Amino acid sequence: MQTTELEQLIEQITDEIVQRFGVLPAASSACRCHTVAVTSCPDRVRFIIECGADRVGLHSTAPPVSREMAQYIDHTILKPEASLEDVSKLCREAMENQFAAVCVNPSYVRHAARMVCGTSVAVASVVGFPLGATLPDVKAYETRRVIGDGAREVDMVINVGALKSLDDDLLRRDLQAVVEACRDYEVLSKVIIETALLTDDEKVKACLLAKAAGADYVKTSTGFSSGGATPEDVALMRRVVGKEIGVKASGGIRDRATAQKMIEAGATRIGASASVKIVKEAKLD
Protein backbone atom coordinates (compact mmCIF):
# COMPACT_ATOMS: atom_id res chain seq x y z
CA MET A 1 0.00 0.00 0.00
CA GLN A 2 1.30 3.48 -0.94
CA THR A 3 1.81 6.10 1.80
CA THR A 4 -0.81 8.39 0.25
CA GLU A 5 -3.33 5.52 0.16
CA LEU A 6 -2.58 4.78 3.81
CA GLU A 7 -3.05 8.43 4.74
CA GLN A 8 -6.38 8.54 2.88
CA LEU A 9 -7.54 5.40 4.68
CA ILE A 10 -6.59 6.89 8.09
CA GLU A 11 -8.51 10.06 7.21
CA GLN A 12 -11.63 8.06 6.24
CA ILE A 13 -11.52 6.06 9.48
CA THR A 14 -11.02 9.28 11.49
CA ASP A 15 -14.01 10.91 9.77
CA GLU A 16 -16.12 7.84 10.50
CA ILE A 17 -15.21 7.95 14.23
CA VAL A 18 -16.03 11.65 14.41
CA GLN A 19 -19.40 11.21 12.67
CA ARG A 20 -20.40 8.27 14.87
CA PHE A 21 -19.15 9.57 18.24
CA GLY A 22 -18.95 13.32 17.74
CA VAL A 23 -15.42 13.62 19.09
CA LEU A 24 -11.94 13.91 17.73
CA PRO A 25 -9.88 10.74 18.04
CA ALA A 26 -7.58 10.34 21.03
CA ALA A 27 -4.43 11.21 19.11
CA SER A 28 -5.73 14.77 18.85
CA SER A 29 -6.87 15.10 22.45
CA ALA A 30 -4.27 17.81 23.02
CA CYS A 31 -5.11 20.97 21.16
CA ARG A 32 -1.76 22.07 19.80
CA CYS A 33 -3.12 24.78 17.52
CA HIS A 34 -4.69 26.86 20.32
CA THR A 35 -3.93 27.25 23.98
CA VAL A 36 -7.38 26.23 25.17
CA ALA A 37 -8.92 23.00 26.33
CA VAL A 38 -9.33 20.65 23.40
CA THR A 39 -13.10 20.66 23.89
CA SER A 40 -13.09 24.43 23.29
CA CYS A 41 -10.71 24.36 20.33
CA PRO A 42 -12.13 26.44 17.44
CA ASP A 43 -10.84 23.90 14.93
CA ARG A 44 -12.65 21.11 16.73
CA VAL A 45 -15.89 23.12 16.78
CA ARG A 46 -15.64 23.91 13.07
CA PHE A 47 -14.77 20.30 12.34
CA ILE A 48 -17.72 18.90 14.29
CA ILE A 49 -20.12 21.33 12.63
CA GLU A 50 -18.76 20.37 9.22
CA CYS A 51 -19.46 16.78 10.19
CA GLY A 52 -23.15 17.61 10.57
CA ALA A 53 -23.57 18.38 14.27
CA ASP A 54 -26.25 20.95 15.11
CA ARG A 55 -25.23 21.37 18.77
CA VAL A 56 -21.71 21.59 20.19
CA GLY A 57 -20.91 21.16 23.90
CA LEU A 58 -18.18 23.57 24.99
CA HIS A 59 -16.25 24.12 28.18
CA SER A 60 -16.49 27.71 29.31
CA THR A 61 -13.69 29.25 31.34
CA ALA A 62 -12.96 26.09 33.30
CA PRO A 63 -9.34 25.05 32.90
CA PRO A 64 -8.65 21.87 30.94
CA VAL A 65 -7.74 19.78 33.96
CA SER A 66 -8.64 16.53 32.26
CA ARG A 67 -5.93 16.88 29.64
CA GLU A 68 -3.15 14.45 30.39
CA MET A 69 -0.46 16.03 32.58
CA ALA A 70 2.50 15.16 30.33
CA GLN A 71 1.11 17.24 27.50
CA TYR A 72 1.32 20.38 29.62
CA ILE A 73 4.97 20.00 30.43
CA ASP A 74 8.05 21.71 29.01
CA HIS A 75 10.74 19.39 30.34
CA THR A 76 13.46 21.85 31.27
CA ILE A 77 17.19 22.02 31.96
CA LEU A 78 18.71 25.49 32.00
CA LYS A 79 21.42 25.36 34.66
CA PRO A 80 24.68 26.55 33.11
CA GLU A 81 26.65 23.48 34.16
CA ALA A 82 24.30 21.07 32.32
CA SER A 83 26.35 18.81 30.06
CA LEU A 84 25.54 17.36 26.66
CA GLU A 85 24.75 14.07 28.39
CA ASP A 86 22.29 15.83 30.73
CA VAL A 87 20.53 17.28 27.68
CA SER A 88 20.45 13.89 25.95
CA LYS A 89 18.83 12.36 29.04
CA LEU A 90 16.28 15.19 29.12
CA CYS A 91 15.35 14.53 25.49
CA ARG A 92 15.00 10.77 26.05
CA GLU A 93 12.72 11.38 29.04
CA ALA A 94 10.65 13.87 27.05
CA MET A 95 10.13 11.38 24.23
CA GLU A 96 9.31 8.51 26.59
CA ASN A 97 6.75 10.60 28.48
CA GLN A 98 5.43 12.57 25.49
CA PHE A 99 6.06 15.96 27.08
CA ALA A 100 5.04 19.01 25.06
CA ALA A 101 8.62 20.21 24.69
CA VAL A 102 12.16 20.15 25.98
CA CYS A 103 13.48 23.53 27.07
CA VAL A 104 17.24 23.99 26.76
CA ASN A 105 19.80 26.79 26.57
CA PRO A 106 20.67 28.11 23.08
CA SER A 107 23.94 26.23 22.73
CA TYR A 108 22.10 22.90 23.14
CA VAL A 109 19.22 23.56 20.72
CA ARG A 110 20.84 21.88 17.73
CA HIS A 111 21.61 18.72 19.71
CA ALA A 112 18.11 18.58 21.23
CA ALA A 113 16.47 19.17 17.83
CA ARG A 114 18.37 16.23 16.36
CA MET A 115 17.37 14.03 19.26
CA VAL A 116 13.61 14.70 19.23
CA CYS A 117 13.34 14.98 15.44
CA GLY A 118 10.29 13.14 14.09
CA THR A 119 8.51 12.95 17.47
CA SER A 120 5.73 15.09 18.95
CA VAL A 121 8.23 16.76 21.33
CA ALA A 122 9.08 20.35 20.37
CA VAL A 123 12.33 22.11 21.19
CA ALA A 124 11.99 25.32 23.19
CA SER A 125 14.87 27.63 24.00
CA VAL A 126 15.42 30.82 25.97
CA VAL A 127 16.33 34.32 24.85
CA GLY A 128 17.83 37.17 26.91
CA PHE A 129 17.82 34.65 29.71
CA PRO A 130 17.51 34.94 32.68
CA LEU A 131 17.98 38.70 33.25
CA GLY A 132 16.18 40.07 30.19
CA ALA A 133 18.48 43.09 30.40
CA THR A 134 20.08 42.98 26.98
CA LEU A 135 19.20 45.00 23.88
CA PRO A 136 16.13 44.29 21.70
CA ASP A 137 18.17 43.54 18.60
CA VAL A 138 20.43 41.16 20.55
CA LYS A 139 17.28 39.30 21.62
CA ALA A 140 16.03 39.28 18.00
CA TYR A 141 19.37 37.94 16.78
CA GLU A 142 19.40 35.24 19.45
CA THR A 143 15.81 34.31 18.57
CA ARG A 144 16.67 33.82 14.89
CA ARG A 145 19.74 31.78 15.79
CA VAL A 146 17.90 29.34 18.06
CA ILE A 147 15.14 29.01 15.46
CA GLY A 148 17.80 28.34 12.84
CA ASP A 149 19.18 25.60 15.06
CA GLY A 150 15.76 23.97 15.44
CA ALA A 151 13.79 25.68 18.22
CA ARG A 152 10.03 25.74 17.62
CA GLU A 153 9.25 27.67 20.80
CA VAL A 154 11.08 30.67 22.27
CA ASP A 155 10.83 31.74 25.91
CA MET A 156 12.10 35.33 26.17
CA VAL A 157 12.58 37.40 29.31
CA ILE A 158 11.01 40.85 29.40
CA ASN A 159 13.26 43.85 30.18
CA VAL A 160 12.33 44.15 33.85
CA GLY A 161 14.49 47.24 34.31
CA ALA A 162 12.59 49.03 31.53
CA LEU A 163 9.32 48.09 33.27
CA LYS A 164 10.63 49.51 36.56
CA SER A 165 11.86 52.67 34.77
CA LEU A 166 8.49 53.17 33.04
CA ASP A 167 10.26 53.00 29.67
CA ASP A 168 7.28 51.70 27.67
CA ASP A 169 8.95 52.41 24.34
CA LEU A 170 11.87 50.11 25.16
CA LEU A 171 9.48 47.49 26.55
CA ARG A 172 7.46 47.46 23.31
CA ARG A 173 10.56 47.30 21.10
CA ASP A 174 11.94 44.52 23.31
CA LEU A 175 8.77 42.42 22.95
CA GLN A 176 8.26 43.13 19.27
CA ALA A 177 11.86 42.21 18.45
CA VAL A 178 11.32 38.65 19.65
CA VAL A 179 7.65 38.13 18.82
CA GLU A 180 8.12 39.29 15.22
CA ALA A 181 11.20 37.14 14.72
CA CYS A 182 9.15 34.17 15.99
CA ARG A 183 6.24 34.97 13.72
CA ASP A 184 8.50 35.08 10.68
CA TYR A 185 9.13 31.38 11.24
CA GLU A 186 5.76 30.39 12.76
CA VAL A 187 7.43 29.69 16.08
CA LEU A 188 5.64 30.01 19.44
CA SER A 189 6.72 32.96 21.58
CA LYS A 190 6.45 32.98 25.37
CA VAL A 191 7.11 36.11 27.39
CA ILE A 192 8.59 35.59 30.86
CA ILE A 193 7.58 38.48 33.09
CA GLU A 194 9.50 37.33 36.23
CA THR A 195 6.61 37.79 38.65
CA ALA A 196 8.80 37.60 41.78
CA LEU A 197 10.29 41.01 40.92
CA LEU A 198 7.02 42.76 40.04
CA THR A 199 4.13 44.44 41.79
CA ASP A 200 0.64 43.32 40.75
CA ASP A 201 0.27 46.48 38.65
CA GLU A 202 3.52 45.71 36.87
CA LYS A 203 2.39 42.12 36.28
CA VAL A 204 -0.81 43.39 34.66
CA LYS A 205 1.06 45.89 32.50
CA ALA A 206 3.64 43.30 31.40
CA CYS A 207 0.89 40.85 30.42
CA LEU A 208 -1.06 43.48 28.48
CA LEU A 209 2.04 44.60 26.58
CA ALA A 210 3.01 40.99 25.81
CA LYS A 211 -0.48 40.24 24.51
CA ALA A 212 -0.53 43.45 22.49
CA ALA A 213 2.82 42.52 20.92
CA GLY A 214 1.28 39.25 19.74
CA ALA A 215 2.97 36.82 22.11
CA ASP A 216 1.52 33.30 22.24
CA TYR A 217 2.08 32.85 25.96
CA VAL A 218 2.89 34.81 29.08
CA LYS A 219 5.08 32.93 31.54
CA THR A 220 5.61 33.53 35.22
CA SER A 221 9.30 32.96 35.98
CA THR A 222 12.79 32.08 34.86
CA GLY A 223 13.48 29.85 37.84
CA PHE A 224 16.63 31.93 38.50
CA SER A 225 15.06 34.75 40.53
CA SER A 226 13.98 35.05 44.15
CA GLY A 227 10.70 33.19 43.57
CA GLY A 228 8.80 31.03 41.10
CA ALA A 229 5.20 30.52 40.02
CA THR A 230 2.26 30.87 42.39
CA PRO A 231 -1.37 29.94 41.66
CA GLU A 232 -2.33 33.54 42.52
CA ASP A 233 0.00 34.95 39.85
CA VAL A 234 -1.16 32.41 37.28
CA ALA A 235 -4.80 33.32 38.01
CA LEU A 236 -4.02 37.03 37.72
CA MET A 237 -2.20 36.53 34.43
CA ARG A 238 -5.04 34.39 33.06
CA ARG A 239 -7.59 37.06 33.98
CA VAL A 240 -5.50 39.73 32.25
CA VAL A 241 -4.75 37.90 28.99
CA GLY A 242 -8.14 36.18 28.70
CA LYS A 243 -8.55 32.91 26.87
CA GLU A 244 -6.85 33.93 23.64
CA ILE A 245 -3.27 33.22 24.64
CA GLY A 246 -1.50 30.73 26.88
CA VAL A 247 -0.17 31.02 30.40
CA LYS A 248 2.92 29.06 31.37
CA ALA A 249 3.69 28.47 35.04
CA SER A 250 7.33 27.79 35.83
CA GLY A 251 9.81 27.99 38.69
CA GLY A 252 9.60 25.78 41.77
CA ILE A 253 7.03 23.30 40.39
CA ARG A 254 8.40 20.05 41.74
CA ASP A 255 5.34 17.83 42.32
CA ARG A 256 2.02 16.86 40.85
CA ALA A 257 -0.08 18.73 43.42
CA THR A 258 1.64 22.04 42.62
CA ALA A 259 1.38 21.45 38.88
CA GLN A 260 -2.31 20.65 39.24
CA LYS A 261 -2.89 23.85 41.22
CA MET A 262 -1.27 25.86 38.44
CA ILE A 263 -3.49 24.22 35.83
CA GLU A 264 -6.59 24.85 37.93
CA ALA A 265 -5.53 28.50 38.21
CA GLY A 266 -5.41 28.77 34.41
CA ALA A 267 -1.98 27.54 33.30
CA THR A 268 -1.89 25.84 29.91
CA ARG A 269 1.77 24.92 30.08
CA ILE A 270 4.07 23.93 32.95
CA GLY A 271 7.83 24.43 32.97
CA ALA A 272 9.62 21.94 35.22
CA SER A 273 12.76 19.94 35.74
CA ALA A 274 11.04 17.37 37.97
CA SER A 275 8.69 16.48 35.11
CA VAL A 276 9.16 12.71 35.26
CA LYS A 277 8.32 12.72 38.99
CA ILE A 278 5.26 14.88 38.29
CA VAL A 279 3.81 12.56 35.64
CA LYS A 280 4.57 9.48 37.70
CA GLU A 281 2.62 11.00 40.59
CA ALA A 282 -0.18 11.91 38.17
CA LYS A 283 -0.46 8.31 36.96
CA LEU A 284 -0.82 7.05 40.52
CA ASP A 285 -3.94 9.16 41.13
Q: Which positions lie near a copy of itself, rule CB under 8 A?
A: 78, 80-85, 105-108, 129-135, 137-138, 141-142, 145-146, 149, 157, 159-162, 164-165, 167, 170, 194, 197, 224-225
Residue number, 149 or 216, with CB nearest to a copy of itself: 149
- Least CB distance to a copy of itself at residue 107 (A): 5
- Least CB distance to a copy of itself at residue 91 (A): 15
**Rounded to the nearest 5°, which phi and psi values hold at 153?**
-145, 140
Residue number, 178 or 278, with CB nearest to a copy of itself: 178
Angle between helices 168-184 and 136-148 (to 10 degrees): 20
Separation between Cα atoms, residue 190 and residue 173, nearest integer Å: 15
Looking at the annotation, which residues are catalytic? Answer: 155, 219, 248
Separation between Cα atoms, residue 111 and residue 134, nearest integer Å: 25
Residue number, 65 or 138, with CB nearest to a copy of itself: 138
Encode the chain in three state secondary structure.
CCHHHHHHHHHHHHHHHHHHHCCCCHHHCCCCCCCCCHHHCHHHHHHHHHCCCCCCCCCCCCCCCCCCHHHHEEEEECCCCCCHHHHHHHHHHHHHHCCCEEEECHHHHHHHHHHHCCCCCEEEEEECCCCCCCCHHHHHHHHHHHHHCCCCEEEEECCHHHHHCCCHHHHHHHHHHHHHHHHHCCCEEEEECCHHHCCHHHHHHHHHHHHHCCCCEEECCCCCCCCCCCHHHHHHHHHHHCCCCEEEEECCCCCHHHHHHHHHHCCCEEEECCHHHHHHHHHHC
Residue number, 29 or 225, with CB nearest to a copy of itself: 225
Residue 181 and residue 144 in contact, taking contact as beta carbons nearer than 8 Å: yes
- Least CB distance to a copy of itself at residue 17 (A): 45
- Least CB distance to a copy of itself at residue 258 (A): 24
- Least CB distance to a copy of itself at residue 239 (A): 24
Residue number, 144 or 269, with CB nearest to a copy of itself: 144
- Least CB distance to a copy of itself at residue 241 (A): 22
Residue number, 47 or 224, with CB nearest to a copy of itself: 224
